[in-house]
Structure 1
Amino acid sequence: MTEKYKPSPEVVEQGLYVAYAALSTMAVLPIYFGSFGSLKKWKNPNEKSKKKKEEDDSDSDDEESVSESMSLEDAYMFPLFGSITLFGLYLVFRFIDKTYVNYLLSAYFGILGVMATTQVGVNCVAPFVKLLGINVEKWHLILTKKKKEIFSSKFTILHLIMMAASVVLSGYYILTKNWIASNAFGIAFSINAIQLLSLDSFQTGMILLSGLFVYDIFWVFGTEVMVSVAKNFDAPVKVIFPRLFFGLPAGEPYQFAMLGLGDIVIPGVFVALCLRFDQHLAGTKNPNLARSTSFSKPYFTAAFIAYALGLGTTIFVMHTFKAAQPALLYLSPACILSVLFMGLVRGEIKEVFSYTSEEGIEAAKAKEAEKNKKAGEDNKAVDDKKTKESDVEKSSSDSEQDSKSNDNNNNNNDNARKPRKRKGGKAQKK
């Protein structure tokens, strides 16, 4: 019987340093590329809008990805919904065989992984294809129902190739649960989430980070829920790396260090907001900025460095005390304080708190339009109700008048049928 392999403390220490470096790299790269992916073309406010025909003829490469804006109300509710979801998963894993649960989750995240890795793959390959001067044919798929558009998608042969590769990768992950494939999905999820999920203002971002600061501390230090779910949840919702990668004998199982995607995505959307704020400041000075990224990025740089330092602090404390740490305990204050410090130093604290992102403005307009539409429908319903009541009253009044008229006519007819008496009665004889 072979003895279980026990590496020396020096080997374990070196292996942990490699794991920490790998986890840090897999955390900062999605934030960096996701932040730049979230940038939209800067629109000159003084520039006249182009004709609709020109917009329809624009290349698919110039299309803006549709992002979901998070409002202040969403930021307040996010920790609550997150807590409900987390505790629900904890109960599921406690009372149901985790094997069947993970089968279902693997299928679900496998489908999502295909979409995420396809988009990331296209974004990575497209610049090289364009640099080589290869002309890629574009298609536009539109589905309509009764002349109403219900689906529209523009894609190229690159999308089809990357989708096929993503399907193969997803199948490989589902069958083998390979940690490298899991990390590929996790990184793709992070980049897409940072690119597509946007904060409408710094107030929203600070409320969100503050709420999740308390959320992370409670569920990690106050209960066993977070750690238990992280260990049982066999899905690409975390990035992992072996604690001992080099020098492990063949056949020995890996022991992994991990970092949740929430510790990447949530601070990442805040860092991306900082980059869009830098673009806003630069665009107000240079209205012709367009798609250029060669502008000053003080807030993005400060927040990005703060995130890296906060992550380093998390790893240091975790390594020192040999215990799981709520990463947002260190990341949330680091990101918030970096923006406040930079705003005070540059004398732009007022601009920081008055800034509303383009996505936030559009979301507010859409919400106001929906509110006005609903108010208009309510007013129309009230008017229709009043009109119906008026018609009923009018009909009732007309019925009463008709009834009175009929009564009068009947009385007149009765009077006409009665014999009239002669005046003076019978003639008297003289």
Structure 2
Amino acid sequence: MTEKFVPTPEAAEQGLYVAYAALSTMAVVPIYFGSFASLKKWKNPKDKKSKKKKSDDSDDSSDEEEASESMSLEDAYMFPVFGSMTLFGLYLVFRYVDKTYVNYLLTAYFGLLGVMATTQVGVHCVAPIVKLVGVDVDRWHLTLTKKKKELYAAKFTILHLIMMVASILLSGYYVATKNWIASNIFGICFALNAIQLLSLDSFKTGMILLSGLFIYDIFWVFGTEVMVSVAKNFDAPVKVIFPRLFFGLPATEAYQFAMLGLGDIVIPGVFVALCLRFDQHLAGTKNPSLGRSTRFGKPYFTACLIAYALGLGTTMYVMHTFKAAQPALLYLSPACILSVLITGLARGEIKEVFAYTSEEGIEAAKAKAKEEEEKKKEASSTKVPALVKDESAEAEKTSSNSDSEQEAGEKRKVRKRKGGKSQKKK
């Protein structure tokens, strides 16, 4: 019987430092690149020229801007509530259902999502290289219609097909082996896509979201065993992991992993991306012809990204010192919020910070107002026939009453005449 390998305290300590450095890198890199991927071409709001796309404008036609989902103030308030319901639901499922079958279902689901996420990230990574080399890639348009109504539309190139095949192979490898490197690739791609596609409409929304999740994380980690239990049983690429002892571990020994949840990357990440878009807004108001250039001052983005790295380092330091799991947002939320407030106060732009609303937020507000207006119109249109009906009924009623009154009056006249005749006869 072979003895269990026990590393020396020095080797275990060094192994943890390597794991912390790897986790920090896998957290900061997606936030940095995802923030820049979320930037769109700067459009001067004062420019009243027509918004028609020119056919000879190769820049606009070749570079697609993906639609992003804007998070409003109401969403920020409800996010911790729905998050708590989902987390507790998973806890009950893992407690009362065989986790093997649950993880089979989750593996299939996240394997499918992983194909789409890695395909998208792969295309974004390979396309600039292909463009730099000078290779011209044809673009296909797929449109599904039914009775002149567009049901689905997609644009893709040969790069999408190649990366999709590679993603399917990677997903199959992950499902078959549950390899931790493949899991990290999926996790990083999920984080990149989420930071790129999910946007906050204002700093007020971002601060309320981070504050709500600050309380959420503290309650579920310190107040209950729910968060830690779900994290240990949830066998899906919703976290980045790294071995606690990577170098010097015998091949026969299984890895013990340190982990960081994707929520601790994505939620602060969308706030950091908001800071970068605010920097672009400040630069664009001064330079209306900014366009797609990223060569502008980034004081808020830099401050928030550094604050995130320091907050993450503090989390790992406390976790290493007390040898216990820590809610990362306990340190990350205040770090990100304070970085923006301090930068705004130092630059004298605190009013601009709280007055800022992203372009996505403005469009979402307009769409919501338009939808409410249409609902009001529909409601009023449904009420009009009833009013007309009531008015016609009243008209009929009044006409019938007048008719009955006329009939009664005629009867009285006839009676009077008859009475007069009878008196004459007498």
TM-score (norm 2): 0.92
The farther-off stretch of 362-371 and 49-58 is 49-58
Superposition deviation, residue 301 in structure 1: 0.2
Kindly report which structure 2 residues correspond to 1:117-266, keeping only aligned pairs within 5 A, or say none. 117-266=118-267
Deviation string, structure 1 residues 145-190 (Cα, Å, up to 9, x no partner): 2222222111111111111111111111111111111100100000
Q: Distance in 1 between matches of 2:30 and 2:55?
A: 31
2: CA distance between counterparts of 1:61 and 1:20?
40
> Unaligned stretches of 5+ in structure 2?
412-426
Give CA deviations for 1:124-150 in whole Å, capped at 9, x if unaligned.
000001101111100111222222222
Q: 1-side partners of 2:339 and 2:194: how far apart?
A: 22
- 3-state DSSP of counterpart to 1:213: helix
Letter in 2 for 1:105: L
Distance 1:180 1:264 in 2: 18
1:416 maps to: none
1:20-419 alignment runs, 5 A limit:
20-50=20-50, 52=52, 54=54, 61-394=62-395
1:38-66 C-alpha deviation (Å, 9 max, x unpaired): 10100023434446452798665422111
CA distance in 2, matches of 1:54, 1:366: 25
- CA distance, structure 2, for counterparts of residue 60 and residue 217 of structure 1: 47
Structure 1 residue aligned with 2:416: none
State the alpha-carbon separation in 2 of the partners of residues 258 and 318 from structure 1: 12
CA distance in 1, matches of 2:391, 2:299: 66
Quick one: structure 1 residues 55 and 278, their matched pair in 2 at CA, closer, same or farther if it must change by over 3 Å?
A: farther
**Residue 80 of structure 1, CA deviation:** 0.9
Partner of 1:142, secondary structure, is: strand
Number of equivalenced pairs = 414
**In 2, distance between residues paired with 1:143 and 1:391?**
48
Partner amino acid for 1:30?
A: P
How far apart in 2 are the matches of 1:16 and 1:362? 46
Take 1:276 and 1:56, find their aligned partners in 2: how far apart are those partners? 28
Distance in 1 (CA, whole Å) between partners of 2:25 and 2:106 is: 26
Letter of the 1:132 partner, please give it. Answer: V
Could you say what secondary structure the match of 2:143 adopts? strand
Output the CA distance in 2 between the equivalents of 1:104 and 1:55. 47
Residue 365 of structure 2 aligns to which amino acid in structure 1?
Answer: A
Deviation at 1:399, TM superposition (A): 7.5
Against the structure 1 CA distance between its residues 9 and 332, is the aligned structure 2 distance closer, same or farther, given a 3 Å change threshold? same
Deviation string for 1:249-297 (max 9, x for gaps)? 1121110000000000000000000000000000000000000000000
Return 5+ residue gaps in structure 1 as ranges: 412-430
CA RMSD of superposed structures (Å) = 2.4
Q: Which has the larger radius of gyration?
A: 1
After superposition, what is the alpha-carbon deviation per residue over 1:366-403, rounded to whole angstroms, capped at 9, x for unaligned? 11101111111111111122123334445666778899
Going from structure 1 to structure 2, the CA distance change for 1:274 and 1:55 (only over 3 Å counts) comes to farther
In the aligned structure 2, how far is the partner of 1:190 from the partner of 1:69? 16
Change in 2 beyond 3 A, CA 1:159/1:385: same
SS class of match (2:142): strand
Residues 187-224 of structure 1, C-alpha deviations (whole Å, 9 max, x = no match):
00000000111111111111111111111111111111
Q: Secondary structure at the match of 1:356?
A: coil
Q: Secondary structure at the match of 1:134?
A: coil
3-state secondary structure, aligned to 1:42: coil
Moved more, 395-404 or 241-250: 395-404
Q: Is the 8 A contact 1:69 1:363 kept in 2?
A: yes
Question: Do 1:311 and 1:331's aligned partners in 2 also have CA atoms closer than 8 Å?
Answer: yes
* Amino acid aligned to 1:22: A
- Compute the TM-score of the two structures, normalised by the length of structure 1: 0.91
* 1:95, distance to aligned residue in structure 2 (A): 0.3
- Partners of 1:345 and 1:30 lie apart in 2 by 28
The DSSP-based 3-state class of the residue aligned with 1:143 is strand
Aligned twin of 1:3: 3
